[in-house]
Structure 1
């Protein structure tokens, strides 16, 4: 309870606070094989949801206490005081501590960005009076686990023949395709993970200095997927005299991103196993020079069997993985002055800057494939091109914070007031250049990085165009005033109050200033006389808080941001009638709304903190309730023939309970045990939506004809899955005749789904679709066990979720025009009366079965052995004769085993506010085994 925690614009003892703040030591993330430190917190903090990604360098999906908006849902990151939307630049080894702030009394001070929670990171500083050099390294392997199950060549032959028979069509000849390829194996590998870190710190009476350098080389489990990252950190604080200190913090990173492999696993499971994955030699004309050469060429696909978007992923990856250059440079720093005056006052002005630059170039080369049926080579990629993106982000922040701290007898007061400004600018520009295709200049762009630019001289300037998908520029500012009071009486009655006024350049003038506030109270019962005889309880505190928080968000229905809510972009190439003539015109992308304001979250919390049994037990319980009001909603009214609209309207409620506990036991002189666990029960419901929304719901659709659908609808959890309820399989025509008519949604026959008549009107129509699944878990949990015996330590982290659903889109909702391989689960298909009452007949012609339904819904519950770490720290007795201060060796296994119920690679899938939990046959989370050492001098 006496630990010091970050609270925003300052620090405080946790005992003096009335909110929910969880502090994690930097050592918890330092030796884990994750480039993003928050990825290592999965299952460790009550109320914190972490959905990790298997892609090197990809940020996890983070939510604190639920999905509070239809727009922005991810927390605010604060690194040494600077506001950020990600922490990709931070080296996990340079982190001193991570604080997770969850309740209104902790978050109101952050104003318009506080509603989604805060993750505050403090980087390492030099320890007083010490000079230390530290080096750590780990090396290990990443391996695909929980591979999805597809049929082999024999299974494909059986099911393909059956499907053709079901449709009374002849099976195309493909006897030449006699391989038995496991395509998932063909595109995956055992990847390597290696991280090396060096730090130097020194502290004296006048100066504290820290320097850190880190390098990470991380393979993905997909072939050729690789991330390289170089990180540098530096901070220095100089004490000029007793009253004034000057300081600087600086972080920099250079990251080379892997090529885009997000669709490789999904493409792999689509290819029929009969196709050969390796190369064959052919004599062909070099596509660049025309010279006759021998080439090793990968197979294309048998277009008589597989086409319409199905590709050989090995062919594409092997020819394009090294034709992308994607570098991100980032520089983040601050300079501050810390002034103590008049005994009780402190003034701290700080100036921050954050510059990022992404230089991305993608070259499309020429390369061959061969037809696996005829064994003839052909030019698979026929035109060269270069796509170049230049993305720049600039962020500036300045804080001027005055703090007064004093004690008046039994009264303790800390008061803070501040003025702060923030600027954000995003400048993204992209263009595409293509080769000359006619005339004397007709030639490809060379396959040489020197020419992978828009102005290489080999591209046709007449068709060099702006890429609208990656061209976007905007900027905004906020100007804010803030205040906070921390008060306690006799160190047992606590009052916390905070407020902030944010003025935003993105809103209309009359709503530009918005006020956010919170009040919290606490009562430490163990300071009361009536508790003095209860010796088993060391500390007992009741607490509660209430407040209004802000959420700075505006997004379209697809989750893409709207930078200027009050100032819509223009849509060009619109027609306007002038008499009998139609002229080109422009119109607003949506109707501007002069009454727009940011969303507000009305939050409250009550809780209890307990320490007992000689401080061996620590327990905390919190009940929270959050209602988001004035949802900023983009309303698509094109179906009504009028302009779209952006307006405030609707509300969402998130509420639940958090329990966390830990037990520390010294079993003997050399043997200690720590057990910790947490569980969070979470409920989510849409209370209302804007009245102008067509149909009264917000849809998000994917796959064939929108068959995979999530709806945000009043009375249901946000992003609920929507579709038909499967009531079995039609076993015969007699079964069809005795069932409600369903012809309005397509032709059907025995073997097709039998959908439930939900509304009871005697027929099956689109009106019988209903909520069929909830992507939000009923509860999440985590536990850890730490054993220490002399110099040996063993830690095991476990966790999981229960009660959520996953919407599986593969093996059921492929396009009916796509021939894909069969999933193993389709071996249980209906192939005659009584053979199945769940999996339908195999037939691309039966479009009736391409409707999203409960057949696509799978249980997302899982339990995972998240992390196992075994370490040995050499004793000082062994090291006393050397100049080594400390030496530790360790082995770590991450994602050792997952017990799950769904058919995908993983049971956890992120997304955005209104569409998450969809399984698109990707997202594999690898098992990572690493070995390392940490040595200090």
Structure 2
């Protein structure tokens, strides 16, 4: 698109002036303007203006990296304004970076831009869930639980203390974005490399996701309605034994244990507990927005509602959101504005699926005579209850209301042509209230007196929890932009403060003598009067950060790029040690080879850019707000007369040299457009070393442990992304793919042999020389088939083994099986993750398909690893060992043989999977029809999510998150449902 204003010119040479902008009316700096067929030329300045002396019958050529070259005849004119179009390349994008924005062509790092349209029409209450499989270097672990937040890890797990990236919503630092409606998001930028992240100081090590919410654009007066509804259904159940199989297996187990077989005369049910607890859930996402803009004022208001039923009966999540902004231009150089995002969230009273997996199928669900749910048989009822008791009798007995408001006010002043000063004051306030009621639950039990049994403590109880968190941020930024003699520079300097406080109060009450707490939500408060036993607790903290920052983006002739940044952070968390100040910095370079003369005569590369960066980043994602100042904990008590005086000691010894963790990172790679910009490819190699890990030093017997900066973790790998875009007549299509390799290793930790052991069954280990959170146990080479097999094998010192027991590998070769033979048996970090995206358009129809997966990681299955109770059997146990030669993978049935419950490869499963993540078919109505209806746009669409997953593990899903040191563990995960939605997007 080219806009031209006319002026007469009859002289032989005239000065032609004009302005060059992009499609968003933003000025383009450094556009090359030359006379066709002649030497010399000009470039545009900071405002996109140019001036050149030419003959009236010549032509001007306008060229800019990432834009389509424009050739325009002068035809005697003295004023020519040009709007340049993107040349099918991401390099021309203006992307949001820390404390500003920049053209992607001028950056030396790895920044991925996701447009709001890519996530607005997806059935997810948290917009982060829709990023799965779209971005190289970003692992998104979703869960099927209604309203739950996905887990994000950028380029691996960097620390033993946390992995959560920093989220920045309209400039405000945050820990999540679950309070936003996806339809209110304009764009998201994911920053991964050191040259992009160092400007964030102690918050940059785990990556940064910058979210820009929608604002009105000049000239727009629009009303948009985006609404969808649909259903979610569990499609992959766990294959468990049915009633007949259970009876056979359980009685065989009792026989193997030397016990009497069980009389199933009164237990003739055949219940599929998964079918009993699951439902098809309803989901809906809605948003209406109003924008109005004039030359002086721009206003945006968006209101949204999201509702989602869980796949377990009676679960329900809902969220109401508000997004409002207003920007007022006093004149072309001065403007003020505000931004507000608010949410009221009602989380679901989530239930677990474990009891439905473990409950015996021989038990009935309900007793009609007593109108009560039935108890389970004696061999189970002491450990678990009828799954429907929790689902029905305790439904909606936990109620929460979470309120959130985050926003800012700002002012911006442009002066002296090249300077912009911007100040922003931001605040985020969250108030969360939670109440839980424990009812008295009666069940039918044929073995109990009166055939009725009361579960649990036989008392009602309530629990209340209230927490408040406040974040206050102020930014003062000065930006200088100039272009002269082929030098183009954007320099930013600033000062910023950040305050964060948190407080929590908890209380609980049991019913008192003669007082039963009513099963009425209006009564679920700790102030219920004559209550019995009580519990109380609290926690609170606050900390501040003061920072100075600077950054320079420089390029020469649009070919040679340099990005440099510096930040100095002062934190109250280390005021005790005197190490509260730390410096972070980065340097990056780039070379647009395709702009060189020696590339002028080739036609394969339309753009070729080499890039690299190095920097230091910080990590303050710690478990403690004051790592340098330990809490007091109860250690012992003393008796003085009739008084018991508690004793306290420090949780760990303070360390005067303690400081934040640092990450030294670098990357090198390239970006290229080829074949007339239809093919885009980029690849980088990255390496990150987290140093000064904050770790606890174990104390000697009877001594207090210490805290120190003692450890280092390395993450490295490749990121590759490619896309192909083309058009044939009415057909358009695109293909995209990305792949990330991840190699994680703990280089050092405290001292030789020191391990962090995490998880309920102590299965996750973190130790020098191994990946973080690796699975530790015994390798399995089969099942003992006979006494001769045992005699010919290494002697098992762990237990007395019999035929049918698991046979462990003698790792150290001493001919004995001992704890010394334990080794790494699995790694929860995948070798690589990948995504594939396909798109086809024909006239008004659009079809998009997203696929993703991961390869090379393991899962530790714990939900069937037990020796303290009797649960249902996985169906694979039908193929158990029950005589020589019957099985070499499934051990005999005998829970008293604890050798088979050791952490071993028997419980390790392949975590690799491939999923059709999303399919969307949309139709855009014709403009001619819409004009008659006074509409600007109307799209209707159908969306299929999680349509099919090819996996190897026995659990509901291979997607398993966790903590920094214990993840990839399947302890009875929530199902990942398929979601089917229909929607429309209407604009007036």
TM-score (norm 1): 0.94
SS of aligned partner of 2:353: helix
Counterpart contact for 1:601–1:629, Cα < 8 Å: yes
Cα deviation 1:849-908 (Å, max 9, x = unaligned)? 110101111111111000000000101022121111111110000000001111111111
Cα deviation 1:574-597 (Å, max 9, x = unaligned)? 24799xx99642100111111111
Cα deviation 1:441-486 (Å, max 9, x = unaligned)? x2201111221111122524xx32214xxx3211111000000000
Q: Alpha carbons of 1:576 and 1:444: their partners in 2 closer, same or farther (altered >3 Å)?
A: closer
Tell me the residue number matched to 2:474. Answer: 398
Tell me the residue number matched to 1:60. Answer: 150
Structure 1 CA distance, aligned partners of 2:827 and 2:227?
42
The reply on whether 1:484 has 2:537 as its aligned counterpart is: no
Tell me the residue number matched to 2:738. Answer: 678
Tell me the residue number matched to 2:583. Answer: 515
Tell me the residue number matched to 1:619. Answer: 681
Q: Which among 144, 147, 153 is matched to residue 243 of structure 2?
A: 153
Q: Which among 645, 662, 676 is matched to residue 600 of structure 1?
A: 662
Measured after TM superposition, the shift of residue 36 of structure 1 is 0.8
Counterpart contact for 1:195–1:216, Cα < 8 Å: yes
The reply on whether 1:237 has 2:327 as its aligned counterpart is: yes
Tell me the residue number matched to 2:411. Answer: 337
Counterpart contact for 2:446–2:452, Cα < 8 Å: no
Tell me the residue number matched to 2:399. Answer: 325
Measured after TM superposition, the shift of residue 433 of structure 1 is 1.1
Tell me the residue number matched to 2:611. Answer: 543
Larger-gyration structure (1/2): 2
SS of aligned partner of 1:224: coil
Structure 1 CA distance, aligned partners of 2:744 and 2:596?
38
The reply on whether 1:853 has 2:904 as its aligned counterpart is: yes
Cα deviation 1:585-625 (Å, max 9, x = unaligned)? 21001111111111111000101000111111111111101
Tell me the residue number matched to 2:882. Answer: 831
Measured after TM superposition, the shift of residue 279 of structure 1 is 4.6
Tell me the residue number matched to 1:558. Answer: none
Q: Alpha carbons of 1:445 and 1:458: their partners in 2 closer, same or farther (altered >3 Å)?
A: farther
Structure 1 CA distance, aligned partners of 2:443 and 2:345?
33
SS of aligned partner of 2:531: coil
Q: Which among 459, 463, 483 is matched to residue 383 of structure 1?
A: 459
Counterpart contact for 1:310–1:818, Cα < 8 Å: no
Cα deviation 1:14-46 (Å, max 9, x = unaligned)? 001000000011011101111111110111000
Tell me the residue number matched to 1:557. Answer: none
The reply on whether 1:280 has 2:368 as its aligned counterpart is: yes
Counterpart contact for 1:721–1:772, Cα < 8 Å: yes
Tell me the residue number matched to 2:340. Answer: 250
Q: Which among 427, 430, 433 is matched to residue 356 of structure 1?
A: 430
SS of aligned partner of 2:197: helix
Counterpart contact for 1:310–1:820, Cα < 8 Å: no
Structure 2 CA distance, aligned partners of 1:696 and 1:634?
10
Cα deviation 1:88-125 (Å, max 9, x = unaligned)? 11110000001100000000000001010001111011
Measured after TM superposition, the shift of residue 760 of structure 1 is 0.8
Q: Which among 749, 753, 757 is matched to residue 699 of structure 1?
A: 757
SS of aligned partner of 1:40: helix
Q: Which among 525, 528, 533 is matched to residue 453 of structure 1?
A: 525
Q: Which among 137, 162, 173 is matched to residue 72 of structure 1?
A: 162
The reply on whether 1:26 has 2:116 as its aligned counterpart is: yes
TM alignment of 1:423-822, pairs within 5 A: 423-437=499-513, 442-460=514-532, 463-467=533-537, 471-507=538-574, 508-554=576-622, 561-575=623-637, 584-637=646-699, 640-668=701-729, 670-691=730-751, 695-703=753-761, 706=762, 709-743=763-797, 745-811=798-864, 813-814=865-866, 816-822=867-873
Tell me the residue number matched to 1:270. Answer: 358
Q: Alpha carbons of 1:577 and 1:643: their partners in 2 closer, same or farther (altered >3 Å)?
A: farther
Cα deviation 1:474-528 (Å, max 9, x = unaligned)? 1111000000000111110000000101111111342110000000000000110
State the aligned residue count.
893
The reply on whether 1:39 has 2:141 as its aligned counterpart is: no
SS of aligned partner of 1:515: strand
Tell me the residue number matched to 2:54. Answer: none
The reply on whether 1:301 has 2:376 as its aligned counterpart is: yes
Counterpart contact for 1:174–1:373, Cα < 8 Å: no
Counterpart contact for 1:275–1:372, Cα < 8 Å: no
Structure 2 CA distance, aligned partners of 1:237 and 1:591?
52
Counterpart contact for 2:858–2:910, Cα < 8 Å: yes
Structure 2 CA distance, aligned partners of 1:194 and 1:260?
19
Cα deviation 1:297-353 (Å, max 9, x = unaligned)? 111222x21144322221122111122220100000100001111111111110000
SS of aligned partner of 1:19: coil
Counterpart contact for 2:911–2:951, Cα < 8 Å: yes
Structure 2 CA distance, aligned partners of 1:126 and 1:553?
35
Counterpart contact for 2:307–2:319, Cα < 8 Å: yes
Range 375-384 or range 766-775, more displaced: 375-384
Structure 1 CA distance, aligned partners of 2:635 and 2:704?
15
Range 334-343 or range 730-739, more displaced: 730-739
Cα deviation 1:183-238 (Å, max 9, x = unaligned)? 11111110000111100011110011100000111011111111011001100000
SS of aligned partner of 2:391: helix
Measured after TM superposition, the shift of residue 566 of structure 1 is 1.1
Cα deviation 1:733-788 (Å, max 9, x = unaligned)? 12112211113x22221110111110111111111100001111111110111000
Counterpart contact for 1:95–1:124, Cα < 8 Å: yes
Measured after TM superposition, the shift of residue 640 of structure 1 is 2.8
Tell me the residue number matched to 1:910. Answer: 961
Counterpart contact for 2:125–2:181, Cα < 8 Å: yes
Tell me the residue number matched to 1:286. Answer: none
Q: Which runs of 5+ in 1 are unaligned?
A: 283-295, 555-560
Counterpart contact for 1:336–1:351, Cα < 8 Å: yes
TM-score (norm 2): 0.89
Structure 2 CA distance, aligned partners of 1:680 and 1:308?
48
Structure 1 CA distance, aligned partners of 2:552 and 2:577?
30
Cα deviation 1:342-372 (Å, max 9, x = unaligned)? 1111111100000001111101112311115
Q: Which runs of 5+ in 2 are unaligned?
A: 1-90
Tell me the residue number matched to 2:915. Answer: 864
Structure 1 CA distance, aligned partners of 2:344 and 2:191?
29
Cα deviation 1:416-452 (Å, max 9, x = unaligned)? 0010011111111111011112xxxx22011112211
Measured after TM superposition, the shift of residue 378 of structure 1 is 2.4
What RMSD over aligned residues (CA atoms) do the two structures have, in Å? Answer: 1.5
Measured after TM superposition, the shift of residue 127 of structure 1 is 2.1
Structure 2 CA distance, aligned partners of 1:848 and 1:242?
77
Structure 2 CA distance, aligned partners of 1:683 and 1:573?
41
Counterpart contact for 2:845–2:921, Cα < 8 Å: yes
Measured after TM superposition, the shift of residue 280 of structure 1 is 2.3
SS of aligned partner of 2:195: helix
SS of aligned partner of 1:827: helix
Range 366-375 or range 57-66, more displaced: 366-375
SS of aligned partner of 1:240: strand
